[in-house]
Structure 1
């Protein structure tokens, strides 16, 4: 029986996702080594000069883990499971150095390309149909490289197992597992997680988006593909909640039968238990149908305004002590939506308001990424981050030293693979192979 594993690569190159198939064998787990061979037959493509297998090097001072008695398997990623992983050279990347860094293509990863993410209403009819077709393909195509962890009990390794998953469900599962409560001294702490409520929020979601974008590029062979975004500023109603776009809602919020996503089911829905990792991941019969209820929440009936976005962009500190949901004068906290755009008043705003406005699956945070609206929303959040970095001439150095678990500047963004340090995700987007259109003034 395959035992538990989780992994990461040393090099800070292209993100690929969790659990390479090649690293869930008995031999790999026993040796604590995740250095799969490339097509030349050598580990990490070493014979061809693509990379090498090497010992993990600790990137961060983790004394606070001992002091606070954290024992979560996702913390100190990936040392908990693997002592050796691939370090890829140059523009090479991937779990076996067989892929390229973001924005690079070709057998030698020497062709640089920057794709343009457009507002979804900018897309031509054919571009829009291509996007929907690719999403449907990603939802139905099993990942050839990765599997996911599913377990009924986080405390006992003999209950852990791996299952196949589609490309889109892999993306959704990564979001789900990152925000499970953190295990501390044998109990679960829900005050923070690896993707929200701290300075890692913008970069963690940026990473997820270009992971999915790259997986779709590889799946289709379309190097020009880019995810679209939804500029929701000032909208009184959701203008893309139609069957021509993301789908019209009927009845209890289920999507119209004419919607592209009418039959979609949400992986890990119905299994939001603190002590388990998505035990029903391979059982579609127990998954919820995707649903959406835009504008029916009793207190959230509008999108953030143009002024809300502009005021948020004026905040000069990327983040501020205590680097959590109570931070004031913090661009990150205002953008995430625990702080209002005035920078002083704690309260729901921006990103959080949009999730609440949509209701349904989007408002159930652990499974919200199952709704393709999540992609469009977070691409726009990422565009706001990019505008802020440009306006304030900011670099990755603005990422603060902090003691939030998994959110330190030199910690790996959990649970992605290979390792991206949290602070390195504040590079400009062109470094990762994409940029944004200039739809409406910002």
Structure 2
């Protein structure tokens, strides 16, 4: 079974950085000024400018035109991200940055640990009375990422109840789908390392090619099915007690509100019992191979209609057998979401389920395979006319500091992580050897000590043996000398044992 395999995420390019609204900037004053340049305690200046630690820098967003799919301007807070909320951020060593207190040895899990760095936005900027009434809430570290996935994919609220625009998504249905989720995984891994103190932690992936069932849905992994209700997680799994957030998007839109992080019920999952009209089942190896053969990253309108588009086919809107867009059934990435038949089937709420991470780590590995096979120039990623939020220079909502889509149109090797199954045998041997030597280096003081002790023991043993040999040699000579003084023929009477007798 090709199920859980570890992907090594080193995250070298993602330097100390965090996401969503920093606690220090979730105030009326910060929103009114639209600046997030906290005072550094080291010298009492904004961003530590007096000490040369950093500066407060204006945010310059791209002015390249977006595609026609979103016909509005100035109605959604994610437009020209992050200017609705902040126009200036702290910059340290070239990285947009906000000070934070990091405790890498928290004893509790990310699901139960409140984020010390960030809060979520629970209302639009206009609902905050344009900064005078901040609407923020603290959540756990895990739920922070669930909310982020909801926020990037939610419909646009145009004002008033039932007045929404559904045909928009700043992280899906267009070119940024793969770069956005790559950054999402890297940031999630970084936070888990901090909260657990395990800096060797790496996100595992599930290789679902040709699988007939959810191979990772066991109580030892992400939770099996409850014997009492197949839609629920087994009580024997830790995930049975998890509560989801941001899973009721239609309700929010109807009310004209945003998800506020309130718990909404248990995780739901009933894999394989999905609507067969939406997707056949899990993707096959041949479908993955066909998708990888498509040489163009994105095409045409660069949305769900795109034909012969690697991105659109991998995302699941292109047919994985023909490459034609707007397929009658969902495939590839989207097919698995449907197959899980529960929380994962909702775009906005899917990140609640830990299967989401295992799934997207494998999707990222397919993206990585394509990058290595086709080695596209960075210019192959669209700079203009992609759906809003997806041009190469567009900053990814709602990450802070800021990441541009096009900057993650590069191999994972350049970012600092690797998939073991994508390495060639020679490189794998080298990496294994390096790993062995690294381990050996840690044992070197013990090995050296053992070698010295062994040498000393050997020397002592050699001395002892030499002494014994010398002693035995002297005793042998002494015995030889004494034997020469004894009569050669016994003179005892009646003895027949004589030389003469022997010679007769």
TM score, norm. by length of structure 1: 0.82
Displacement of 1:58 in angstroms is: 2.8
Match of 2:84 in 1: 80
1:262 aligns with 2:234: no
Output aligned runs, 1:271-420, within 5 Å.
272=250, 273-274=252-253, 275-279=256-260, 281=261, 283-284=262-263, 287-299=264-276, 300=279, 302-341=281-320, 342-344=322-324, 346-347=326-327, 348-400=330-382, 401-420=384-403
Contact 1:249 1:291 in 2 (8 A): no
Can you list the C-alpha shifts for 1:362-395, whole angstroms capped at 9, x where unaligned?
A: 0011100000000000001111111110111124
1:55 aligns with 2:31: no
CA 89–24 in structure 1, closer or farther in 2 if over 3 Å, else same: same
Contact 2:312 2:325 in 1 (8 A): no
Contact 2:308 2:325 in 1 (8 A): no
Match of 2:205 in 1: 229
The separation in 2 between residues aligned to 1:161 and 1:252, in whole angstroms, is 38
**SS of corresponding position for 1:216:** helix
1:142 aligns with 2:114: yes
Can you list the C-alpha shifts for 1:72-113, whole angstroms capped at 9, x where unaligned?
A: 1111011122221112215x55323999xxxxxx9xxxxxxx
Runs ≥4 in structure 1, deviation > 6 angstroms? 63-67
Aligned length: 393
Contact 1:12 1:418 in 2 (8 A): no
Q: 1:429 aligns with which of 412, 419, 437?
A: 412
**SS of corresponding position for 1:255:** coil
More displaced stretch, 242-251 vs 264-273: 264-273
Contact 1:13 1:93 in 2 (8 A): no
Displacement of 1:253 in angstroms is: 1.0
The separation in 1 between residues aligned to 2:421 and 2:265, in whole angstroms, is 37
**SS of corresponding position for 1:139:** coil
More displaced stretch, 38-47 vs 354-363: 38-47
CA 59–71 in structure 1, closer or farther in 2 if over 3 Å, else same: same
More displaced stretch, 332-341 vs 136-145: 136-145
CA 55–320 in structure 1, closer or farther in 2 if over 3 Å, else same: same
The structure whose residues are more often helix, as a share, is 2
Displacement of 1:290 in angstroms is: 0.5
**SS of corresponding position for 1:229:** strand
Any gaps of 5 or more consecutive residues in structure 2?
1-12, 425-504
Query: Which structure would you say has the larger Rg?
Result: 2
Match of 2:196 in 1: 220
The separation in 2 between residues aligned to 1:294 and 1:27, in whole angstroms, is 48
The separation in 2 between residues aligned to 1:185 and 1:166, in whole angstroms, is 29
The alignment yields a C-alpha RMSD, in angstroms, of 2.9
CA 49–332 in structure 1, closer or farther in 2 if over 3 Å, else same: same
Can you list the C-alpha shifts for 1:313-349, whole angstroms capped at 9, x where unaligned?
A: 0000000010100000100000000001221253211
The separation in 2 between residues aligned to 1:345 and 1:269, in whole angstroms, is 28
Contact 1:148 1:165 in 2 (8 A): yes
CA 154–43 in structure 1, closer or farther in 2 if over 3 Å, else same: closer
